[in-house]
Amino acid sequence: MALQQEINEKKKKIHTDGYPMSIGELISLYRDGELDIHPEFQRFFRWSPQQKSKLIESILLGIPIPSIFVSQREDGVWDVVDGLQRLSTIFEFVGVLSDEKGNAVAPSVLTKTAYLPSLAGKMWESHDANNSFDTTLRLAFKREKIDVKIVKKESDGTVKFELFQRLNTLGTQLSDQEVRNCLLVMLDSGFYDWLKQLSEYPSFLNTVSLAERLLDEKYNMELALRFVLLNLINLDEVRGVQDFSEFITDKMVEYVRSGNFSAPLLARQFTATFDFLDWALPEMAFKKFNVEKQRFEGKFLVAAFEAVGIGLSRNIDAWIRLPKDDALRQHFVSRVQDLWRDASFQAKYGSGVNVTTRVPVIIPLGEKILVP
């Protein structure tokens, strides 16, 4: 009975509709500003020419393509929640796509495909008739239909973001942070720009020293976000959390919506912390200190980032008031080494320790040990 009640309650908060629409209708909605495909998302979703051509091929052959999901805003405009790349590919091909600055995007040129090799070099419209879709083909293309699922404006305000998150984390190549970035752009593009600026701060990048693959997956932005959120929340909130990644996303949405934080103060704390670390322990701050060999070694460890980076940030004002000299550097390095010798830290930093039991212990421990 409890399950049925939960289902009934949640269903009341979600109002949906859906019907097939022709590509021509979708083009008209986009041209008239009634369909927002969030061109700023193009930085996260990039299809190759082959992928784009394969979609056009599927439409021409009548092969069904997945539904487009949209959310209706209060002003009636449809926000694309899932299907941005499919729609962008169509709009780019027919020559109506604009980038995030409102500039026209050059129409795409198709490549040969498995079933239609003659698509190679073809365009929607070209001065060269041999490489242009003729009128009959253009009309047939525009009359093909795509199923559109609509989350109506009467739905609960969180449904759009929940839907986006689910659709873009199941069977996708996006990292957790890339999905968060899309959510941020929908919520507050200013916060996204601010977080991106933090994540690209030179001293920060020097100290975390991430591999190119992790940078491509925007892990630097995830670390910057963790720094911000773990300095805002009560760490006891982390205890017992089943999915830490989802917790980070939920907290991000909560703080962006409430605005209950000082971006300038957090940015100052962030830059001061990583400037100091880049001076004192460049590229070694977040690596394991081997007590037996008396040296830092290995790769970046997120536990070290939490304990050293966030722990230090809570004492950073005291450290930066002191004169920067070799004595201060050695004193700080010895403090970090003390942290690595601590039995409580040793018990919590390993990969087998759950993040929800690690974080509430090692951040306060880092704060306690990393004092001038």
264 φ/ψ sector (left φ>0, alpha ψ -120 to 50, else beta):
alpha
177 close to 218: Cβ distance less than 8 angstroms: yes
Q: CA gyration radius for the chain?
A: 25
With 50 as the cut, is the pLDDT of residue 170 above it?
Answer: no
When mean pLDDT is compared over 70-74, 90-94, 352-356, the highest value belongs to 90-94
179: tokens are 């999905």
Q: Among 42-56, 225-239, 358-372, which is the least confidently predicted range? A: 42-56
Q: Rounded CA gap, 124 and 118, in Å?
A: 14
For the cut 70, the answer to whether the pLDDT of residue 368 exceeds it is: yes
State yes or no: pLDDT of 184 exceeds 90. Answer: no
User: What gap in Å lies between CA 53 and CA 34, rounded to an integer?
Assistant: 26
**Which DSSP category does 19 fall into?**
E
* Contact call for residues 67 and 146 (beta carbons, < 8 A): yes
User: Which residue's structure tokens are 């790769």?
Assistant: 299
Q: How far apart are CA 139 and CA 198, in angstroms?
A: 48
The tokens for 208 are: 């975390």
Question: Considering the entire predicted model, what is its pTM?
Answer: 0.73
Contact 40/101 with Cβ under 8 angstroms?
no
Residues 6+ apart with CB under 8 A from 333: 280, 281
Stretch 184-204: mean pLDDT, rounded? 92
Q: What is the number of H-type helices and E-type strands within the chain?
A: 19, 7
- Give the amino acid at 179: V
Question: Coil, strand, or helix at residue 121?
Answer: coil
Q: With 70 as the cut, is the pLDDT of residue 43 above it?
A: no
pLDDT tens column, 300-355: 999 999 999 999 999 999 999 999 999 999 999 999 999 999 999 998 887 677 88
pLDDT at 283: 86
Q: Are strands 288-290 and 295-297 parallel, antiparallel or unpaired?
A: antiparallel
Pairing of strands 35-36, 78-82: parallel
Run of H or E residues at 20: strand 16-22
Mean pLDDT of 364-369: 96
Residue 171 confidence class, pLDDT cut points 50, 70, 90: very low
Question: Greatest CA separation found in the chain?
Answer: 79
User: Residue 68 forms beta bridges with which residues?
Assistant: 148
Dihedral sign for Cα 155, 158, 163, 166, please: negative
- With a cut of 80, say whether residue 45 has pLDDT above it: no
Q: What is the mean pLDDT of residues 259-278?
A: 97
Q: How far apart are CA 101 and CA 40, in angstroms?
A: 9
| pLDDT score, position 168 | 56
Confidence of residue 267 (pLDDT cuts 50, 70, 90): very high
Structure tokens at 66: 């997945």
pLDDT (0 to 100) of residue 4:
62
Identify the CA nearest to 285 among candidates 363, 208, 366. Answer: 208
State which amino acid sits at residue 30: Y
**Spatial separation of the C-alpha atoms in residues 220 and 199, rounded to whole Å:** 6
Distances from the Cα of 299 to the Cα of 165, 168, 210, 318, 353, angstroms: 30, 30, 9, 29, 18
CA 210 to chain centre: 17
The answer to whether the beta carbons of residues 224 and 198 sit under 8 Å apart is: yes
User: What is the C-alpha separation between 189 and 196, in angstroms, rounded?
Assistant: 10
Strand order in the sheet with 145-151: 16-22, 145-151, 68-72, 78-82, 35-36
Which of these, 283, 122, 129, lies nearest to 206 by C-alpha position? 283
Tell me how far apart the alpha carbons of residues 167 and 149 are, in angstroms, rounded to a whole number.
13
Q: What is the CB-side half-sphere exposure of residue 200 using CA atoms within 13 A?
A: 7
